[in-house]
Amino acid sequence: MADSRGSAAPKPSSSVKLVLLGESAVGKSSLVLRFVNNDFQENKEPTIGAAFLTQKCNLPTRTIKFEIWDTAGQERFASLAPMYYRNAQSALVVYDLTKPTSLTKAKHWVAELQRQASPGIVIALVGNKLDLTNETSSSTGASANFAGSEDAAGESEENHAEADADADADDEETHDARKISTAEGKAYADEEGLLFFETSAKTGTNVTDVFTAIANAIPEHTLKGGRGAAAAAQGALGARGDADPSRVNLNGPRKDVGAKEGCAC
């Protein structure tokens, strides 16, 4: 008789502290909300201090429980950032594809993490708001076979010129707001050894892929179970006397916002 106990051994589970950094209004909170609750909220209020959420990601050989610190992007909260990225095993640095200054700020955060965060921290550079860009390119350069007289050919060329002008007008109407090219973001990420993604928190494009890639990139020997970095960080906040909930989570009275035991991966 087969031993029922030997069927499926539970996968090891590890807690991973992840911090989100980036300029205000780049969509950090929206990315986390999409990952944790598969939800998106228009006109989301800015984060004050930091918000804390958790979500599990099931990999083939292990389960990763992300303990996520979503930090405020306003400059007045920048001095609090080290409190949240201290001992973090991973970081998600976000910029807005429609705002060049946000990439400059993202580079600042990457440099600070490389200088002051834990050695070996896994950093993902994420260009958000892909939904505001026009990624669908029409094949206006496609060749066509024309038959007939030179007049017909000339008329066709004239029609093509008009079509190209109409296409240019249509492009203006689509309001492609992209200001940072994929090549620029990827070149910087490759130079610094970062993971790189372009995402849309609104549509969900590539959001889960970011967190899955981070989970896969963290070396197994650095993982440990137990109490978790977030619990320790909350204890540290209490010890410092920073018990004001607005500094931990500005999205309401909850301490563990949207914590889920399911997997979004």
Give the pLDDT band of residue 264 (cuts 50, 70, 90).
very low
pLDDT, greater one: 131 or 250: 131
Q: For position 47, what pLDDT does the model report?
A: 82
User: What is the pTM assigned to this prediction?
Assistant: 0.70
What does residue 14 show for φ and ψ, rounded to 5 degrees?
-135, 145
CB contact at 8 A, 69 and 47: no
Q: For 245-259, what is the mean pLDDT?
A: 37
Q: For position 220, what pLDDT does the model report?
A: 81
Q: Is the pLDDT of residue 253 over 70?
A: no
CA distances for 141 relative to 72, 112, 154, 167, 168, angstroms: 45, 45, 17, 11, 13
Residue 228 Ramachandran class (φ > 0 left, ψ -120 to 50 alpha, else beta): left
Q: For 82-107, what is the mean pLDDT?
A: 97
Q: For position 162, what pLDDT does the model report?
A: 54
Q: For position 45, what pLDDT does the model report?
A: 78
Q: Is the pLDDT of residue 13 over 60?
A: yes
Give the pLDDT band of residue 52 (cuts 50, 70, 90).
very high
Q: For 192-217, what is the mean pLDDT?
A: 97
* Token digits of residue 93: 């640095």
CA Rg, the chain, in Å? 23
Percent of the chain with pLDDT over 70: 66
Q: Is the pLDDT of residue 214 over 60?
A: yes
Q: For position 235, what pLDDT does the model report?
A: 46
pLDDT tens digits, one per residue of 111-139: 999 999 999 999 999 999 999 998 643 33
pLDDT tens digits, one per residue of 26-48: 999 999 999 999 999 887 778 88
**Which amino acid makes up residue 131?**
D
Map out the domains of the chain with their CATH numbers: 12-129+177-248 (3.40.50.300)
Q: How many residues does the chain have?
A: 265
221-246 burial by CB neighbour count: b if 16+ within 10 A, else e? eebeeeebbbeebbeebeeeeeeeee
Q: For 47-63, what is the mean pLDDT?
A: 91
Q: Is the pLDDT of residue 72 over 70?
A: yes
Name the range with the highest mean pLDDT among 12-26, 35-49, 151-165, 221-235. 12-26
pLDDT tens digits, one per residue of 157-203: 555 555 555 545 444 444 689 999 999 999 999 999 999 999 999 99
